Structure formats: structure tokens, C-alpha cells
Amino acid sequence: MEILDEIQKYTQEDRELFWEGTFTEYLEMVIRKPHIARLSHARIYDMIMAAGVEEGETNKV
């Protein structure tokens, strides 16, 4: 079933993203990869843009 596959994929990705360390180690990671320090609204914007957007008519009532 597709939804079960998606849940399993999400769970695996969540495990891979787990990290534990010192603040100094975190800062070193951010210096190397600044995108990891992005705020949640920026991450959501990135997800929307990656999925694609369509421009529609503006000022339509």
C-alpha cells in the first residue's frame, strides 16, 4: 500500500537526520553547509518550489 511505503520512508529519513553533538560541532557543520540552519518557513518554501508551482491569473475575483 502506498501510504505505508510513505510512512516507512519518512521514518527512515527521520532516523538518518538524527544528530547529537556539541554546539561547537553544530557550528562547524553550519559553516560547511549553511542550509541546515534554515528556519522552518524557509524549508517549507523550498519544498513547495521543489514540487513546482503554476502561475495563475492575478486579481481574479
Residues 31-44 pLDDT 10s: 999 988 889 899 88
- Domain span holding position 24: 19-52
Q: Per mean pLDDT, which of 25-29, 39-43, 56-60 is the most reliable?
A: 25-29
Residue 36 near residue 30, CB atoms below 8 Å:
yes
C-alpha cell at 49: 518550489
- Model confidence at 20, pLDDT cuts 50, 70, 90, reads very high
Q: What is the mean pLDDT of residues 17-29?
A: 92
Q: How does DSSP classify residue 59? A: S
**Total tally of structural domains belonging to the chain:** 1
Does some domain include residue 47? yes
Is this structure's pTM higher than 0.85? Answer: no
Give the three cell numbers for residue 50: 521543489
